[in-house]
Amino acid sequence: MPYAHYVKPGSTVKLKDLDPSGHGGLEKEEADFRRHEMGQRVEEMQELMYAANMNSLLLVLQGCDTSGKDGSIKSILSYVNVQSCRVASFKQPTHLEASHDFLWRAHEQVPALGGMTIFNRSHYEDVLVVRVHDLVSKQVCKKRYEQINHFEELLADSGTIIVKFFLHISKDEQEKRLLAREEDADKSWKLSVGDWSERELWKDYQKAFTDALEACSTDCAPWYVVPANHKWFRDLAIMEALETTLKPYRQTWHEHLKEVGVERKKELEAYRQKNNIKT
């Protein structure tokens, strides 16, 4: 059984039945070991993807405050080559962003061929926070699921590999983390009244997340629900899904690079012959 819950396209999602404290029967030490092994394979595949220049990778992270988006990014970045990876964070839209369609700012940030981009929050905020706070009409919001699916299909058709993670924590765990921030002088800067007021809307957010997961998990852009109460298990589950996502492409990238290598060697040989260079 994979560590993260794959949301089968068209299936219903019951977040209550998915344990945020799940840990696959592992202890931290074993989980860290497995993550490290997987991470090294992911690193190798990301390098291949970069060199082959045939695909790009878009990784979307969503979850409520304190769910561990920043921590997950740190964990992923410790394996991938940061020269070909970027992080794009989505905050409250600026005036300019708000004066465009909701996908504009996301489209601008998607990775080019060979590259990888991690979305820290994403275009999904426009069916999450926007829906919970009724920032647009219900009609407009409802249409967005389909618009998101079309957008992601366009990216996939252009070579982007998409994988989306919902970091699933419990309400109790969130409280613990928020209180821990107050205790830790180095973390207190993260405190925000908004975190506590948004927490009052927990149920509405869970419903909005559920609807987004159900409406927008597709073959070309699947959602995974990641048990995230244990940070070490969260990082393992993400790394495993990442490896599973990239693996089917590995052979193609490898073969393509081999062909390119043969071509380069031929060119080099011709150059040496022409210039009478001996090695």
Residues that bind Mg ion (CB under 5 A): 65
Q: Are 69 and 167 in contact (CB under 8 A)?
A: yes
Residue selected from 14, 16, 29, 92 as contacting ligand AMP according to rule CB under 6 A: 92
Burial of 129 (0-12, 13-18, 19+ CB in 10 A): middle
User: What three-state secondary structure class fits 230?
Assistant: coil
Task: Using the minimum distance from each CB to ligand AMP, give the nearer residue, 126 or 240.
Answer: 126
Place of tokens 């970027």: 86
User: What three-state secondary structure class fits 4?
Assistant: coil
Residue selected from 3, 50, 90, 253 as contacting ligand AMP according to rule CB under 6 A: 90
Task: Using the minimum distance from each CB to Mg ion, give the nearer residue, 67 or 218.
Answer: 67
Tell me the two tokens of residue 232: 């070490």
Q: What are phi and psi of 193, to 5 degrees?
A: -55, -35
Place of tokens 């996301």: 106
Q: Which of residues 116-155 bind ligand AMP (CB under 6 A)?
A: 121, 125-126, 129-130
Residue selected from 14, 16, 91, 274 as contacting ligand AMP according to rule CB under 6 A: 91
Indicate whether 106 belongs to the interface with ligand AMP (CB under 6 A): no
Pairing of strands 223-227, 160-168: parallel
Strand partners, 166: 62, 225
Tell me the two tokens of residue 191: 């405190």
Span of 7-15, 45-53, 84-92, 204-212 interacting with ligand AMP by CB under 6 A: 84-92
Span of 19-27, 88-96, 167-175, 239-247 interacting with ligand AMP by CB under 6 A: 88-96
Nearest distance in Å: CB 130, ligand AMP: 5
Task: Give CA 35 to chain center in angstroms.
Answer: 16
Task: Using the minimum distance from each CB to ligand AMP, give the nearer residue, 193 or 277.
Answer: 193
248 binds, among Mg ion, ligand AMP, none (CB under 5 to 8 A by kind): none
Q: Are 180 and 187 in contact (CB under 8 A)?
A: yes
Binding characters for ligand AMP, 160-199, by CB under 6 A (x = yes)? ----------------------------------x-----
Nearest distance in Å: CB 198, ligand AMP: 7
Radius of gyration, CA atoms only, the chain: 21
Tell me which residues touch ligand AMP (CB under 6 A): 90-93, 121, 125-126, 129-130, 194
